[in-house]
């Protein structure tokens, strides 16, 4: 009796860290969110913080350029103490900007982020289509808030760093006047 060896390799499927991470940062059904809190529906926002941070650290060990929400990058870098503090900052920004006319929350931020804000009156100053003054939360600096002034085309300079919620409140009229 002759035994014929199977020459076809057996397919082996293994989850990759990048695929797992892509699923982790996926945002579902956030188009109707009116505040950041409304958009915190994903695994990143609900799972235990230590598990989220551990999975993120594992993922960036393989690919440092993987997308992540601002607060997770800031948490990993030691710029914020907890996800709860990040959510408190998001909610504080929402309260400050909701009290001013012209600011609109845009719920579709980068992968895992809950969104950003645009100052719509600034669009009127553009002679061609462009972007209104925009506020985003960031891990770029310790103040965690960046302002992109109204612009047409690509942004050719760094955003304006805001030194936290108190600085935002104190300088909001000046930020609005950038338009």
Residue ranges covered by each domain of the chain:
17-176
177: left (phi over 0), alpha (psi -120 to 50) or beta: alpha
Q: Find out whether 58 and 17 touch, Cβ atoms under 8 Å.
A: yes
Residue 37: the pLDDT is 87
Residue 61: the pLDDT is 87
Res 126 pLDDT > 80: no
Is the dihedral angle over the CA atoms 117, 91, 51, 58 positive or is it negative? positive
Rounded Cα–Cα distance for residues 24 and 47 (Å): 10
Q: Find out whether 104 and 88 touch, Cβ atoms under 8 Å.
A: no
Q: Taking the model in full, what pTM does it have?
A: 0.83
Res 136 pLDDT > 70: yes
Residue 150: the pLDDT is 87
Give SS3 for 78.
coil
- Residue carrying the six token digits 């600034």: 122
CA dihedral 64, 108, 27, 164 (to 10 degrees): 60
Residue 14: the pLDDT is 45
Q: Would you state the structure tokens that stand for residue 12, as one six-digit string?
A: 């082996």
Confidence of residue 12 (pLDDT cuts 50, 70, 90): low
Res 31 pLDDT > 50: yes
Mean pLDDT in residue range 11-24: 64
Q: Would you state the structure tokens that stand for residue 65, as one six-digit string?
A: 């350029």
């Amino acid at each position: 009796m002759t035994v014929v060896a199977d020459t076809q390799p057996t397919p082996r499927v293994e989850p990759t860290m990048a695929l797992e991470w892509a699923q982790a940062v996926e945002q579902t059904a956030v188009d109707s969110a009116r505040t950041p809190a409304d958009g915190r529906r994903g695994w990143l926002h609900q799972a235990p913080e230590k598990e989220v941070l551990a999975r993120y650290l594992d993922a960036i060990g393989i690919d440092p350029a993987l997308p992540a929400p601002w607060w997770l990058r800031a948490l990993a870098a030691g710029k914020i103490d907890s996800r709860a503090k990040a959510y408190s900052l998001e909610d504080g920004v929402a309260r400050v900007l909701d009290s001013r006319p012209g600011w609109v929350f845009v719920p579709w931020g980068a992968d895992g982020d809950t969104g950003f804000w645009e100052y719509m009156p600034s669009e009127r100053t553009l002679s061609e289509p462009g972007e209104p003054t925009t506020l985003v939360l960031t891990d770029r600096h310790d103040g965690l808030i960046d302002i992109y002034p109204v612009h047409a085309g690509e942004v050719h300079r760094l955003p304006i760093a805001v030194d936290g919620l108190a600085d935002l409140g104190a300088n909001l009229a000046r930020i609005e006047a950038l338009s």
